[in-house]
Chains A and B, each alone.
Chain A
Amino acid sequence: MPVITYRDALNQALAEEMERDDSVFLMGEEVAEYDGAYKVSKGLLEQFGERRIVDSPISELGFAGLGVGAAMVGLRPVIEFMTFNFSILALDQVINAAAKMYYMTGGQIPVPIVFRGPTGAALQLSAQHSQACETWYVHSPGIKLVTPGTPADAKGLLKASIRDNDPVAFMEGELLYNLKGEVPDPDDGDFVIPLGVADVKREGSDVTIVTHGKMVNEALRAAATLEKDGIEAEIVDLRTLRPLDVEAILRSVHKTNRAVYLEEGWPYVGIGSQIVSIIQEEAFDYLDAPVVRVTQADVPMPYAKNLEKIAKPDAARVVEACNRVLYRN
């Protein structure tokens, strides 16, 4: 299987879907002439022309709304936010228009749009450019949320998102674009991963680490440390936060009796809150310990390198949390 970067996997997905369906187009800041801020759309302008690869002005609310309108009249726009930090400006179009249109028109007008871009912190970009935006999007019914953590998932899930008839927020990771991984060869057929299906990234019997997106990789590092200690952690990568693969979470908790939720966002009403709620409600009799969350510290991301490091969740804290639910402290 070819090993490619997360960036190239996304590029492949976009190209393949645009090739397959000419109602698909990409719009965003610097996606055309500059190949995208993170070079995800490299070569696409050349391949598909400026009618389908469209540079937008710096006006998130404007081009997000333009995308919603296009989707309402039958196109399949992919709207790139340079990062999801900037998408906060566009939230009215996302939450009030895209997510509610199908419902408010009694099912007459679907909005098949993808909003994509990186979420979460990179390195020393400070408070306004280092936030995990999942909660804002997943809170509202009517929009799906996809968070791939590996190149293969990035490709398979983006293709599924573009084909989906509901609005989808597709959150990537700035620090993931260079991540390499095996992705099935395009010549071996269409590679699509259905939304709403979690993936066990590592099998284990002692503790379940449930996570999503970039943090999957941090969880794998934690599991490697735990393994040296004789602890087998199972990693459940949710991949899609809405719809949520509840069964996969419960299956693993039934097996290990202990769970840790790892996420990049803040703890307060974070994704983990929802997951913990589900676990305690649906798998209560299988729990051997309270479910513990590992999150970003409940502060705006500091700029100072040393402070940023301790504000971010990392493998060491995941190990610590696992030991706690294993009563090994």
Chain B
Amino acid sequence: MATKVHMEALSPTMEEGQIVKWMKAEGDAVSNGEVLAEIETDKATMELVARGEGVLRRILVQEGGTAPVGDVIALIAGEDEDVSEFEGGDAGESADEGEEEEAAEEAPKKGKKDDEEGDEEADEEGDEDDEEAGDDRAAAKEPASDGADDRRIKASPVARRLAEEKGIELARVEGTGPGGRIVKRDVEQAAKEGVPAAAAAAPDSDADYEDVPLSQMRKTIAKRLVESIGPVPHFFLTREIDMTRAVEARKRINAMLEDEGVRISFNDIVLKSTAMALARHPECNAHWGGDHVRRFNRVHLGVAVAIEDGLITPVVRDADRKGLRQIAAEVREMAGRAREKKLKPEEYTGATFSVSNLGMFGIDEFTAVINPPEAGILAVGGMVERAVVVEDELEVQTRMKITMSCDHRVIDGAQGARFLQTLAAILEEPLAALV
């Protein structure tokens, strides 16, 4: 079976890639996983590997040429296999097929799993096939699971037919008919505008997750708010936190670690606490997926780091399960390499939530802009000593203001507020981290 080689999203923001060099020539044998080409993305030069076996039969985009993510750039097939049928297809069509294949290869999708369970009834054998056979099966099942996906989507018959003809995934089309029904004009519009970027092109996270289908209310909230404020409907929640105990705790921790030459920053404490709070509030540890909300079961924290000509957010993976010592070390190390622009894509992608801290610049409070598809970012201000009324008495406390930006399509006000409540409780009583 012929395998189309697609221009893959080799960086989270990559929309097209340039072929720097083909490592294989037409006629060369290719095995699965072998490097086919060097591709220049918007960030770095990356390797594109083969997703199938056979002979590189056709190179469709030559060295120096560029192709949008999803486009077919080469064909791998058997030596004598007829590949003519793959060569005439227009770019749009092949791009969409690319998405579908990538989606089919994406294993841990909970929604997907349900579909496959349905299919298993019809096809019980083959469960224990090796991986390669498994891939074939996924490809063969494509139409079936596609249908299963479509069944959950309201679309007029002609809209379905049209979407199929144009290779447009209905899940990516917004319906304007009654009750959100996708009608012909919606598919035509989607075709005109180009289908939204493939799922693979969106910065994905390797954290476990659960895809939550959108309720009608959630869809309406999403649609209305976007109309109001732009593609990501932000709202902001600010809370002032008593950092007295955190200051104290930091002193003691740093005294403890002095011999190792390790120093924990306040930001490290904020990161650890945020990650712990997120673990308890998965509704805030989420991505907006267009047709679903993806809630992650692991916490990968993006840490905004200012670099010379911008900023980048290295990711501390499983930050909720790491100790302060490790978080401090990782952040310091990655921040250093970030300034030298030596971070690998996997080090600055896959965050489930981000934190930005401008406290060291004397900023009291600010709002940070969400990095889509993440649904939230925490803006951390500086610490100041202030007089606070506690039980009718004036008291001097070290206070810090944090502001959470929320994507309202994913997070509602009360959800964000509850998350901040948990976060404040942890910061105000660092012992909570032990509980």
Residues of A participating in the B interface, judged by any CB pair closer than 8 Å: 257, 284-289, 327
Contacts and interface: CB of A to CB of B under 8 A. Distances in A.
Given A257-B184, A327-B183, A327-B185, A289 B177 contact: yes
B32 interface: no
B176 A327 contact: yes
Contacts of A284: 157
Given A284-B157, A288-B159, 16 more contacts: A257-B156, A257-B158, A257-B184, A285-B158, A285-B160, A285-B161, A286-B158, A286-B161, A287-B157, A287-B158, A288-B157, A288-B183, A288-B184, A289-B183, A327-B177, A327-B178
Contacts of B159: 288
Nearest to B159: A288
A286 B162 CA distance: 9
24 contacts: A257-B156, A257-B158, A257-B184, A284-B157, A285-B157, A285-B158, A285-B160, A285-B161, A286-B158, A286-B161, A287-B157, A287-B158, A288-B158, A288-B159, A288-B183, A288-B184, A289-B156, A289-B177, A289-B183, A327-B176, A327-B177, A327-B178, A327-B183, A327-B185
> How extensive is the interface on chain B, given as a class?
10 to 19
A213 to B, nearest CB: 29
B131 to A, nearest CB: 37
A253 to B, nearest CB: 9
Interface in B220-275: none
A328 to B, nearest CB: 10
A286 B160 CA distance: 9
A323 to B, nearest CB: 13
Nearest to B156: A288
Interface in B352-375: none
Instruction: Determine the main DSSP class of B at the interface with A.
Output: helix
A97 to B, nearest CB: 43
Interface string B150-194: 000000111111000000000000001110000111000000000
Q: Which of B156, B161, B176, B184 has the most CB of A within 10 A?
A: B156
Nearest to A286: B158
A199 to B, nearest CB: 25
Contacts of A286: 157-158, 161
Contacts, number: 28
B417 to A, nearest CB: 39
Instruction: Determine the main DSSP class of A at the interface with B.
Output: loop
A280 to B, nearest CB: 9
B165 to A, nearest CB: 10
Contacts of B158: 257, 285-288
A327 B159 CA distance: 13
Interface in B403-420: none
A327 B155 CA distance: 13
A218 to B, nearest CB: 26
Nearest to B182: A288
Nearest to A324: B178
Contacts of B156: 257, 287-289
Nearest to A284: B157
A287 B160 CA distance: 10
A257 to B, nearest CB: 5
Interface string B309-331: 00000000000000000000000
Nearest to B178: A327
A279 to B, nearest CB: 11
Contacts of A257: 156, 158, 184
Contacts of A287: 156-158
B411 to A, nearest CB: 32
B310 to A, nearest CB: 45
A327 B184 CA distance: 10
A286 B176 CA distance: 18
A327 B183 CA distance: 9
Contacts of B157: 284-288
Contacts of B160: 285
A288 B178 CA distance: 12
Contacts of A289: 156, 177, 183
A24 B156 CA distance: 52
A284 B159 CA distance: 11
Contacts of B161: 285-286
A101 B157 CA distance: 43
A102 to B, nearest CB: 39
Q: Which of A286, A287, A288 has the most CB of B within 10 A?
A: A288
A172 B160 CA distance: 42
Nearest to A287: B157
Nearest to A329: B178
Contacts of B177: 289, 327
A257 B185 CA distance: 11
B181 to A, nearest CB: 8
B180 to A, nearest CB: 12
A43 B108 CA distance: 86
B168 to A, nearest CB: 15
A285 B183 CA distance: 12
A296 to B, nearest CB: 26
Contacts of B184: 257, 288
B18 to A, nearest CB: 41
Contacts of A285: 157-158, 160-161
Nearest to B187: A288
Instruction: Give the top 10 A-B pairs by smallest Cβ distance, nearest first.
Output: A288-B184, A288-B156, A285-B161, A288-B158, A257-B158, A287-B157, A285-B157, A284-B157, A286-B158, A288-B183
A289 B154 CA distance: 12
Nearest to B175: A327
A228 B408 CA distance: 42
A257 B155 CA distance: 13
Contacts of A327: 176-178, 183, 185
Q: Which of B157, B158, B177 has the most CB of A within 10 A?
A: B158
Contacts of B183: 288-289, 327
Contacts of A288: 156-159, 183-184
A285 to B, nearest CB: 5
